[in-house]
Amino acid sequence: MITAQTQKSFLSEDFLLRNEFAKILYHDYAKHLPIIDYHNHLPPAEIAQNRKFENISKIWLAGDHYKWRAMRTLGVNEKYITGNGSDTEKFEKWAYTLPFTMRNPLYHWSHMELIRYFGVDELLTTENASEVYFKTSEMLQEESFRAQGLLEGMNVEVVCSTDDPIDSLEHHESYFHSKKKVGLYPAFRPDKSFAIENPEGYKSYLEKLGQVSGIEINSFDKLIEALSNRIEFFHSRGCRLSDHGLENMYYSNDSRLSADGILQKVLRGNHPNTEEIEYFKFKVLKKLCKLYHSHGWVQQFHLGALRNTNARMLTVLGPDTGFDSIGDFDQARAMAKFLNELDSTDQLAQTVIYNLNPRDNEVFATMIGNFNDGSIKGKVQFGSGWWYLDQKDGMEKQMNTLSNMGLISCFIGMLTDSRSFLSFPRHEYFRRILCNLFGQDVENGELPWDEKWLGKLVSDICYHNAKNYFNFSPSNYQI
């Protein structure tokens, strides 16, 4: 009998490829394509400084709230998750947890990461945890396992960070001058610029925004001027896309309200009401989106997350620690009105909308068709399954819905949306699932056995569509 220590991984070269045509599509048309990761949360400083990770816990467990949620569910004490447990203890607790994650994407992802980065083709358990910990940690000390080497090793061509308007982008600049193989570009994430729910925190943020822009923000017009200043700065550093994390899109035409009046109220320390919050966010976003359009940027909207639901743990650990969920927000009407507001003056930029609630897949897939105007292939995109939907079932549903109600051939494909340097096999995961969908249709007699054409469509979705959609180029830097 094979023991736990020697049991080999189930991840064969044809993992998830259940028919012959799927295998052809993946191995001949998808597998070797570069990766354009146009949305993630990797720290630019760690890329620019080419960080060396002391051990696998530092690179694999720190910051990964997917794993943290699983460990908490299994009853692992917080000491061994985000607490003061040692790195070896944290890894041992994760090795204990992993076998219990079967049928959760973590089981697939974790073993793919162990194989692709470290050549570990055994199933991780408590029995081999110590051996795997020391083997991988030793490998991480090699030059090729520093941050930049890990990206190059996964054939990453472009990686886009997520950056606040007040960011200096100094790490992007130093990395650009180092002329490395992988392109690193910023993405403009201005959520805090219209977060007026907390007047005290908002005033503090405006002070910082005013300092970096050289503009005293004492009116709505000055706020937009300061944001325009930062967009110009980001543009000069190669930025060509923005991103927004919202519960839902905003739209308000309440003539009784004034954006400047609401801002003055907040600057005095008073809390705005619900109608004022929605109106203000709409006005700021509308101004921002017109600026994106004028600069030729792509705008992204990640919609539907219900964040920071556990007040006790938010107080203890802060945000982005694993206590967010799918929200059940109404999406269609405000989204349609917002996009139409921009389109009515022909100022709707290329747009990617991401859905977090699977009940709304059809809403998003049909919404994009309302604003694709023939000016560019796939101008408005239904973005890939993200966060809780970036698993096999979620990605299949997103792609099937897009196929049924739009053109999957125009789809710009996958992204990691990750904080981990070891997460890039998720592109492989996506590509295998994509090839299997097409292969299954051929197997069923629902598509022709046309290797050349279907191979082209798969290659486009995995790489070429994103390559052509985004204007990433070193020549965009104006330093």
Task: Note whether 242 and 299 are within 8 A (CB).
Answer: yes
pLDDT band at 7; cut points 50, 70, 90 = confident
Instruction: Please tell me the number of Cα atoms within 13 Å of 116 on its side-chain side.
Output: 24
Average pLDDT over residues 268-282: 97
Phi, psi at 298, each rounded to 5° = -95, 140
Q: Nearest 5°: CA angle at 404, between 106 and 160?
A: 45
Is the pLDDT at 9 greater than 90? The verdict is no
Task: Note whether 404 and 365 are within 8 A (CB).
Answer: yes
pLDDT digits (tens, 9 = 90+) for 134-184: 999 999 999 999 999 999 999 999 999 999 999 999 999 999 999 899 999
pLDDT value, residue 337: 98
Is the pLDDT at 244 greater than 80? The verdict is yes
Name the pTM for this structure. Answer: 0.95
In 182-247 the beta strands, taken as DSSP E runs, fall at 183-185, 241-246
Is the pLDDT at 6 greater than 90? The verdict is no
Query: d(Cα 351, Cα 339) in Å, to the nearest integer?
Result: 9
Task: Note whether 35 and 116 are within 8 A (CB).
Answer: no
- Sheet order of strands, 298-303 included: 241-246, 298-303, 350-355, 380-382
pLDDT band at 28; cut points 50, 70, 90 = very high
Is the pLDDT at 14 greater than 50? The verdict is yes
CATH number for 52-145 (one of 1.10.1740.10, 1.10.2020.10, 3.60.15.10, 1.10.645.10): it is 1.10.2020.10
Is the pLDDT at 51 greater than 90? The verdict is yes
The rounded radius of gyration (Å) of the Cα atoms in the chain is 23
Task: Note whether 424 and 35 are within 8 A (CB).
Answer: yes
Query: d(Cα 77, Cα 97) in Å, to the nearest integer?
Result: 12
User: What residue segments make up the domains of the chain, in order of their start?
Assistant: 52-145, 161-476
Average pLDDT over residues 318-337: 95
Helices within 296-345 (DSSP H only): 311-317, 332-343
CATH architecture of 161-476: Alpha-Beta Barrel (3.20)
Is the pLDDT at 262 greater than 70? The verdict is yes
